């Protein structure tokens, strides 16, 4: 599929945590496919407004809204502002996430709660508000075959256990079951809910894993395809899942990981 500038024409998309990394790229690709886009940010207000200006200067529509996705009142206010500005919502990309890593026995309750609160509860809060609007509005046949689409940013760590990152891996495992349960519940109302599980993608979240040649060589041992992923790899998958090109796809996780989940350690043994 080549990405066409009218694939998502007339649709409104909200991308959480889109002032950097994967979320930024997803937002830019959705905008260049014709969607009006909400750039949600937490602390990076200037970066978010710069992305909005870029999208507008390319003829797109965008606004920036600050909100902590783990806070119910802020999430509700963000959705209200989205609906006031653009009238409705068709696509939610639940992307915001972070890591607070430590050895398991040293992991504080604060860091456990923070990671679960943002990575998992944040996705629940945003998905719930999006689903309410999708159900209120229903299908607009000239816009999309679906009443709405939700894309959850998971990780290969929804299936690969990750020592030193128990809170993060748990949040991503939870996303898988949450996503499939919502998809099962809302499929009859023509709401599609899917996840993307990125492998190692070059972004600020994992800079230390790829920003020196030694670190990158180490990381490549885990990636059969032989390269670290780029944010565009994820953004293209997100456009497909958001569009009617994937109309019969519901409740799946699309692994975009260069084969990281192929257990590459078994190439030479096992």
Task: Cite the active site residues.
Answer: 168
CB of 192 vs ligand NAD, minimal distance in Å: 20
CA dihedral 105, 111, 116, 122 (to 10 degrees): -170
CB of 145 vs ligand NAD, minimal distance in Å: 27
Closer by beta carbon to ligand NAD, 20 or else 246? 20
Q: Could you tell me the two tokens for 224?
A: 């059969």
Nearest to 229 by CA among 206, 253, 263, 195: 206
CA-based torsion, 162, 40, 149, 10: positive or negative: negative
If you count them, how many residues does the chain have?
270
Task: Give the three-state DSSP class for 36.
Answer: strand
Alpha-carbon gap, residue 242 to 180, rounded angstroms:
16
Q: Could you tell me the two tokens for 220?
A: 């490549």
CB of 96 vs ligand NAD, minimal distance in Å: 3
Interface ranges with ligand NAD (CB under 6 A): 16-17, 19-23, 40, 42, 44, 68-70, 95-98, 118, 153, 155, 198, 200-201, 203-206
For 211-225, give the DSSP string.
Answer: SSHHHHHHHHTT-TT
Closer by beta carbon to ligand NAD, 37 or else 147? 37
Closer by beta carbon to ligand NAD, 21 or else 174? 21
Q: Which residues contact 178 (CB under 8 A, 6 or more apart)?
A: 120, 123, 124, 127, 152
CB of 138 vs ligand NAD, minimal distance in Å: 29
CB of 22 vs ligand NAD, minimal distance in Å: 4
CA dihedral 13, 18, 22, 25 (to 10 degrees): 60
Task: Give the three-state DSSP class for 145.
Answer: coil
Closer by beta carbon to ligand NAD, 147 or else 196? 196
Is residue 28 within a helix (H) or strand (E), and if so which, with residue range? Answer: helix 21-32
Alpha-carbon gap, residue 189 to 138, rounded angstroms:
8
Closer by beta carbon to ligand NAD, 117 or else 251? 117
CB of 232 vs ligand NAD, minimal distance in Å: 12
Closer by beta carbon to ligand NAD, 17 or else 148? 17
């Amino acid at each position: 599929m080549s990405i066409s500038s009218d694939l998502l024409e007339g649709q409104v998309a909200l991308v959480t945590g889109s002032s950097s990394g994967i979320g930024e790229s997803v937002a830019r690709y959705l905008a260049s496919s014709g969607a009006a886009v909400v750039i949600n940010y937490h602390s990076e207000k200037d970066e978010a407004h710069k992305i909005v200006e870029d999208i507008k200067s390319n003829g797109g529509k965008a606004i920036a809204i600050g909100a902590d996705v783990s806070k119910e009142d802020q999430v509700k206010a963000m959705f209200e502002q989205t609906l006031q500005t653009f009238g409705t919502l068709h696509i939610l990309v639940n992307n915001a996430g972070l890591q607070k890593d430590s050895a398991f026995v040293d992991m504080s309750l604060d860091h456990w709660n923070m990671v679960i609160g943002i990575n998992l509860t944040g996705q629940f809060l945003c998905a719930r508000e999006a689903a309410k609007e999708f159900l209120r509005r229903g299908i607009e046949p000239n816009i999309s075959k679906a009443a709405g689409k939700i894309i959850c940013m998971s990780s290969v760590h929804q299936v690969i256990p990750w020592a030193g990152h128990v809170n993060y891996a748990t949040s991503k495992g939870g996303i898988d079951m949450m996503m499939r349960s919502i998809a099962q519940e809302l499929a009859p109302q023509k709401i599609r809910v899917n996840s993307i599980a990125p492998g190692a993608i070059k972004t600020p979240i994992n800079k230390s894993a790829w920003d020196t040649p030694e670190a990158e060589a180490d990381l490549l041992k885990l990636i059969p395809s032989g390269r670290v992923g780029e944010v565009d790899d994820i953004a293209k998958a997100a456009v497909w899942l958001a569009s009617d090109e994937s109309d019969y796809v519901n409740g799946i996780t699309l692994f975009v990981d260069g084969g990281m989940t192929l257990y590459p350690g078994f190439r030479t043994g096992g």
